[in-house]
Chain A
């Protein structure tokens, strides 16, 4: 599996309450509630750290989960959130500039 990089959409609104993020899409105001695992991944989605690193260093450290299945779940979640426009995913690291370029509706 090739590496995946994730970056939070720069125009989304987000706040973490009790370890769980609420995220509002800057595209259409849809509101999402992320569980604690998804929130960890969201917070680590800096465009520079690959998803497998995030899962290994953050998710597997924090939760009692097996790496392979956690990575698969994380990728599914990332693709779903990307479909809603609140996360960008790429096989290359995502720079701040391209995050901003991806903002246009």
Chain B
């Protein structure tokens, strides 16, 4: 399936279709995860009618994969009404949730509405650690019970686990829990800065030694030698390639109708309350600027040893101040993976020049300094 979906992605890009869109239905949440990048206050979410109209527009625009996320999607009382509407429009529907509000009845309804898969966030297999992240006592038990309800309906569930300092030792336990539940687990070391630019949550991110440990674990990366191999510098075709699918075949819509290239790329490109979705997708200057960028245009990354293999996120680069610049989190990953510092990391090394200070000393009796 993956090659066919890649083929579809390439076709969508060539034809200018937004193949995959994530809509955050709300930023409200019943958990208070310590690493979360969202402001949970409601600043004027789209109404049910607005969301249904947006879904109509997206179906017409060619959107195939629709991810509904948040915040917590079930905080919206009209969640099932929205889901039902999406089902009628024959999207491939994926949900992201903490699942705390999913019991037998909700799981059965989700199954009836033909949801393709559900991603549930689990931070640790230990309640004291998971609940310490969500700040909600009992949340691990509720989420795990919900996974069982969803599985009992024959639904496909994926556990999403974030490697961060308070949880990094627990991922083998989460993998074991996933095996026990019969679900897939994805593990990601990326921490996203707050959407308002506040980068303080990055303090929770793991460092080089933990990254190196993770990248040497074949249960996470598959073939370690292959994963950690140093790739050849980018060739001509790589330099002409696009950095990622954001803005090319995918985009993201916030609960307030703002359209961005990706959930992790908060460059405003338009608002569906003022413009039609397809007009933003096709004609937004910002979206077209993102689309115009090729690897060769990235001043640091195009010269970097990891240029061809790096997972550089243009959204994280944008949040660092330059969408054509490097994403330091990805530089750190490439360094941990291969032991070779990226061009960006090398440029940040303390300058040797500071060790020798040269001052103008007056010439005295023909002796110069």
Contacts and interface: CB of A to CB of B under 8 A. Distances in A.
Interface in A9-40: 10-18, 22, 24, 26, 29-31, 33
B12 interface: yes
Interface of A: 10-18, 22, 24, 26, 29-31, 33, 103, 105
Interface of B: 1, 4-5, 7-8, 11-12, 15, 17, 59, 62-65, 87, 90-93, 114, 116-117, 154, 156
Contacts of A10: 114
A17 to B, nearest CB: 6
Given A15-B64, A26-B114, A33 B90 contact: no
B-side interface mostly: mixed
Given A17-B12, A17-B17, A22-B64, A105 B117 contact: no
Given A15-B90, A17-B62, A29-B1, 14 more contacts: A12-B114, A13-B92, A14-B90, A15-B63, A15-B64, A17-B8, A17-B15, A18-B15, A22-B4, A24-B64, A26-B116, A31-B5, A31-B8, A105-B154
Given A13-B90, A31-B5, A18 B11 contact: yes
Contact of A13 (B1, B12, B64): B64
Nearest to A30: B1
A22 B91 contact: no
B116 A24 contact: yes
Sorted nearest first, the 7 A-B pairs with minimum C-beta distance are A13-B92, A11-B114, A15-B64, A14-B90, A26-B114, A31-B1, A24-B92
12 contacts: A10-B114, A11-B114, A12-B90, A12-B114, A15-B63, A17-B11, A18-B15, A24-B116, A31-B5, A31-B8, A33-B4, A33-B8
A11 B114 CA distance: 5
Nearest to A29: B116
A49 B339 CA distance: 64
Contact of A22 (B8, B59, B114, B156): B8
Nearest to B8: A22
Contacts of B92: 13, 24
Contacts of A12: 90, 114
B88 to A, nearest CB: 10
A85 B5 CA distance: 19
Contacts of B8: 17, 22, 31, 33
Nearest to B59: A15
A3 B161 CA distance: 52
| Central interface residue in B4, B15, B59, B63, by most chain A CB within 10 Å | B4
